Amino acid sequence: MSDEQEPGKDQKIWQVVAAIPPGKVASYGQVAEMAGLGRQARYIGRALGKLPRGHEIPWYRVIRSNGQIAFPQGSDIYHEQVSRLQAEGVEVVNGRVAMKQFRW
């Protein structure tokens, strides 16, 4: 079944991401597991990219399992993600978050 044929897949992902509390982060794989999608971590980024304008889903709380920000360092979206995380008290050092400390 293709992604488009599975109704509600994106909504499941968005619900999980919406539940991540301020000051915490989750990995793409963790979100996939919690959304019932097993090991489909790569799909999570695509689903977050489909968020409608004006949404309030905290997409920036989702990072790689090694704590790394997935966006290229120096890009506008990278800086936005780091800024939003830091505003919630999440420490980002050299593009990484200490997962032991901040993982949901």
pLDDT in tens, 23-62: 999 999 999 999 999 989 999 999 999 998 899 999 999 9
Q: Where are the beta strands (DSSP E) in the chain?
A: 26-27, 62-63, 92-93, 96-97
* pLDDT at 8 (0 to 100): 87
- Give φ, ψ of 64 to 5 degrees: -70, 155
| Alpha-carbon distances of 58 from 6, 38, 66, rounded to whole Å | 23, 21, 19
Q: Check pLDDT > 80 for residue 4.
A: no
Angle between helices 9-19 and 41-49 (to 10 degrees): 90
Provide the token pair at 64.
């790689």
Look up the CATH number of the domain holding residue 77: 1.10.10.10
Which pTM was predicted?
0.90
Domain span at residue 91 reads 3-102
Please provide the average confidence, as pLDDT, over all residues in the chain. 93
* Structural domains in the chain (count): 1
